[in-house]
A and B are shown apart, each in its own frame.
Chain A
Amino acid sequence: MSEPHMSVPSPALLDVSGLARHFPVRGFLNRRVGTLRALDDVSFSVRKGEVLGIVGESGCGKSTLGKTLMGIHEPTQGEVHLAGTRIASPGQKRAAAVRAQLQYVYQDPGASLDPRWTLRRSLHEPLIIHTGWSRAKREEHVQAIVKAVGLPQAHLDLYPHEISGGQQRRVGLARILVLGPQLIIFDEPTSGLDVSVQATVLALFRDLRREFDLTYLFISHDLAVVRSICDRVVVMYLGRIVEIGQTAEVFSAPRHPYTRSLLAAAPRIGGPRVTENFTLQGEPPDPSNVPSGCRFRTRCPLAIQACAETEPQVEFEHDHGIACLRWREQAA
């Protein structure tokens, strides 16, 4: 579970400031007819060794955030620093060395194995690209990693179709770990899994983090999973951060009305039926046409006139940040 947070805060490994990513919306004859603001003014930092969760509904920009950090998208505004080095800003070309330190895990890491390659070849490939190691040294390293993810050595000569889906997932993770990354971004790693499998996958993530001293950015829409694995959590809505803080604090005392609705919507076994008094109506608006002021105001039960005029900034109390004009009066 979570490590104690009271100890000396470790320095930020990843620092994101004012990050924005806009996509052009094109109409007839490829003319630009609008802007999809997938990500706007997102700032946070990830400390070394922590697991930061990013939650939100589909279309809130959480995957765009992951991909922008990864360098798949170039930011429209803002900067990203990894261990003190600027790795992304508008117009910046990413150095190849950064790729080894930052890894991205898709929904099913096993699916990205080449079916015509033996597992050994798949695991050697990243080392061939990123290091100048001899074959023997690479093999030694690969064997150590394979052991760490809990696969038998004999499996290295097999092809992906010869092993089970769970083992493929382990190989996919091993492939990510061979380069010794500092930060791993997981994008919806448990969606579509049965709970019985999900539990083993989460336990594997947890063990690997301990063993390789990793830092995770965990993007998910599953609140229960985020709650069980993350130290801190960022809640996003329509491309903006609405709340950020320690997982325990955000889940036990959510302050933003959106976070409250999100938590209220998740069924709790043993609790009352949430559907009987669930108040949040409608669905998030189209991100190419966001509401003025606070983006949540069209669905917010607390919205007032000022919400349409002022865009709330993230305000911090200790390390719990909330972007809402009315949170102070609600808290009082």
Chain B
Amino acid sequence: MSALLDISKLSLAFRTEKGPARVLDMIDLAVKPGEIVGLVGESGCGKTTLARAILGTLPEGLTEIGSGHIRLDGVDMLRGGKAAESIRGRVVTFVPQDPFASFNPLFRIGTQIADLMRWKAPRPEGRRWGGHRRADEDAAIAMLDAVQLPQPRAILAKYPHELSGGQRQRVMIAMALLPQPQLIIADEPTTALDVTVQAQILGLLRRLAVERGVSVLFTTHDLGAAWEICDRVVVMYAGQTAEIAPREAFFANPRHPYTRMLLDSLPEPGRDPVGIPGGVPSPLTPPGGCRFNPRCPRVTEICRETRPALAEHEGGHLVACHHPVTADAEALYV
């Protein structure tokens, strides 16, 4: 099956007063149709920048595209111009992190959904204006019902502040699904929510995506949420792809030292969590070679000189490391 989203060798920098900030460095990523891919990493590792690059919403004057391409459904999203414009919001939609800040507080939910549908929802008759209001409203109500919002008609007449956080995120998911996209980019959709609501929203997102065959690119720093929802997990570190693996292999048998340490940082009963000393390097002055080398316990000379290539191990498990952790290796620390 060919990939729906294909990112290869993507490098990207922002112009700043202190020189270029190399935020993404040779990123490789592919999302197949109907697949849920988790994009995991600490804050400042470039998750959100990558999501915005795919959507084509990076600040134009400030972004320098070094190399590589992003192809979504065959269209180049970085240099696509009009073609990319027609894809954004239709083939690819977005669920934001903060459902509190993503609605216009002055308009009713119904108005905001109608605006979205006027521009982005598929029109069977090919007409853009008039005659659609009824059909749009029915479609919106059906979708609000699908995201399990009680009394969808009453929700349409409400203002955003009258809804709770979980309800707002449900409306956001409904709005992301209405244009019948092939890919949804969900940028930390549950970090602002409580655990019981998070469980409901993650379950909903996964079920709807699977039912409709929609792919989801799910960025998160919560490894538990990634375990819940993903088919495949991609780990980013400081703008580089560190590891790509199917869900089970990723959690049971992480190969990259960074991934291993990230998993060992999770608090668990019966053992003290181990942190990762140091911090994510500044994109203005990234270390040479593998960007994780200043914090890595397995570092050697080659790590400082050469950037490790993303190499396949077994069963679609890709690791970019000169000294990957083998399955039976001892723990990295004592």
- A199→B270 contact, CB < 8 A: no
Known A194-B42, A196-B42, A196-B276: A266·B269 in contact at CB below 8 Å: no
Assess whether A195 is in contact with B266, with CB atoms less than 8 Å apart.
yes
A227 adjacent to B275 (CB under 8 Å): no
Residue of A nearest to B274 (CB): A199
Q: Are A221 and B224 closer than 8 Å at their CB atoms?
A: no
Structural contact, A273 and B166, CB atoms closer than 8 A:
no
Judge if B196 is at the interface, Cβ distance under 8 Å. Answer: yes
Q: Which residue of A lies closest to B261 (CB)?
A: A196
Bound: A224/B222 CA distance, A: 12
**Looking at the complex, which one of A166, A206, A275 makes contact with B229 (CB distance below 8 Å)?**
A275
A1 CA to B272 CA, complexed, in Å:
7
Q: In the docked arrangement, what's the CA distance between A223 and B229, Å?
A: 19
Distance (whole angstroms) from the CB of A258 to the closest CB of chain B: 9
Docked-complex contact A270 and B224, CB < 8 angstroms: no
B194 / chain A contacts, CB cutoff of 8 Å: 57-58, 221, 283
Q: Is B279 an interface residue (CB 8 A)?
A: yes
Q: How far is it, in angstroms, between the C-alpha of A72 and the C-alpha of B42 when the chains are bound?
A: 35
A151 at the interface (CB under 8 A from B): no
User: Are B252 and A198 in contact, CB atoms less than 8 angstroms apart?
Assistant: no
The residues in B between 246 and 297 inclusive whose CB is less than 8 angstroms from any CB of A are 251-252, 261-263, 265-270, 272-277, 279
C-alpha gap A91/B44 in the complex (Å) = 48
With beta carbons under 8 angstroms apart, the residue of B197, B221, B225 that contacts A283 is B197
Least Cβ distance of B251 to chain A in Å?
5
B331 to chain A, nearest CB (A): 15
Q: Does A164 sit within 8 A of B, measured CB to CB? A: yes
A104 at the interface (CB under 8 A from B): no
A199 and B273 contact, CB distance less than 8 A? yes
Neighbouring A residues of B228 by C-beta, 8 Å = 267, 273-275
A198-B275, A203-B275, A276-B203 known; A270-B225 Cβ under 8 A: no
Which residues of chain A are near B268, meaning CB under 8 Å?
Answer: 224, 228
Task: Give the size range of A's interface with the partner.
Answer: 35 or more
In the complex, B104 has a CB within 8 A of chain A: no
Q: Which of B196, B227, B273, B276 is the one whose CB lies under 8 Å from A57?
A: B196
Residues of A within 8 A of B223 (CB): 195, 269
* B78 CB-CB contact with A under 8 Å: no
User: Which of B197, B198, B222, B269 touches A227 (beta carbons < 8 Å)?
Assistant: B269
CB of A225, distance to nearest CB on chain B (Å): 5
Query: Is B267 a contact of A202 with CB atoms below 8 Å?
Result: yes
Asked if A330 is an interface residue, CB under 8 A from chain B, the answer is no
Select from chain A the residue with minimum beta-carbon distance to B45: A194
Find chain A residues with CB under 8 A from B67 CB. Answer: none
Tell me if A310 is interfacial: C-beta within 8 Å of chain B.
no
Mark contacts of A238-265 with chain B using CB atoms, 8 A cut-off: 1 yes-contact digit, 0 otherwise. Answer: 0000000000100100000000011011
Q: Tell yes or no: A10 within 8 A of B by CB.
A: no
B251 proximity list for chain A (CB < 8 A):
269-270
Whether the pair A266, B195 counts as a contact (CB closer than 8 A) is yes
- The CA-CA distance from A229 to B271 in the complex, in Å, is 10
The reply to whether B199 and A196 contact each other, CB–CB distance below 8 Å, is: no
Chain B residues 110-156 with CB under 8 Å of chain A are: none
Question: Per-position contact with A for B168-205: 1 when CB-CB < 8 Å, else 0?
Answer: 00000000000000000000000000111111101100
A202-B267, A283-B166 known; A164-B279 Cβ under 8 A: yes
Q: Does A30 contact B (CB under 8 A)?
A: no
A202 and B195 form a contact (CB under 8 A): no
Counting CB contacts under 8 A, is B164 at the interface? yes
Residues of A within 8 A of B197 (CB): 57, 283
A275–B203 Cα distance when bound, in Å, is: 5
Residues of chain A with a CB closer than 8 A to B195's CB: 57, 221, 223, 262, 265-266
Give the complex CA separation of A273 and B251 in angstroms: 14
Question: Are B224 and A227 in contact, with the CB atoms below 8 A?
Answer: no
A28 contacts B by Cβ under 8 Å: no
Given A199-B267, A225-B267: A265 and B275 interface contact (C-beta under 8 Å):
no
Q: Looking across the interface, which residue of chain B has its beta carbon closest to that of A286?
A: B164
Is A200's beta carbon under 8 Å from chain B? yes
Selected contact of A196 from candidates B198, B200, B203, B262, CB within 8 Å: B262
Interface: A280 (CB within 8 A): yes
When distances are taken between beta carbons in the complex, the residues of chain A under 8 Å from B275 are: 196-201, 203
B196 touches A261 (CB 8 A): yes
Binary contact track A266-308/B, C-beta < 8 Å → 1, others 0 = 1111100111101011010000000000000000000000000
> Contact between B42 and A227 (Cβ–Cβ < 8 Å)?
no
Of the listed residues B42, B198, B228, the one surrounded by the most CB atoms of chain A closer than 10 A to its CB is: B228
What is the CA–CA distance of A86 and B187 in the complex, to the nearest angstrom?
48
Q: Mark A10-39, 1 if CB is under 8 A from B, else 0.
A: 000000000000000000000000000000
A275 to chain B, nearest CB (A): 3
Q: A275 to chain B: which residues have CB within 8 Å?
A: 199-200, 202-203, 206, 228-229
Question: What are 21 inter-chain pairs, A to B, with CB distance below 8 A?
Answer: A194-B42, A196-B262, A196-B276, A198-B275, A199-B275, A203-B275, A224-B224, A228-B268, A228-B273, A229-B267, A261-B196, A267-B199, A267-B202, A269-B227, A269-B251, A269-B263, A278-B199, A278-B200, A278-B203, A283-B194, A283-B197
- A→B interface (CB under 8 Å): 1, 57-58, 164, 166, 194-203, 206, 221, 223-225, 227-229, 248, 251, 261-262, 264-270, 273-276, 278, 280-281, 283
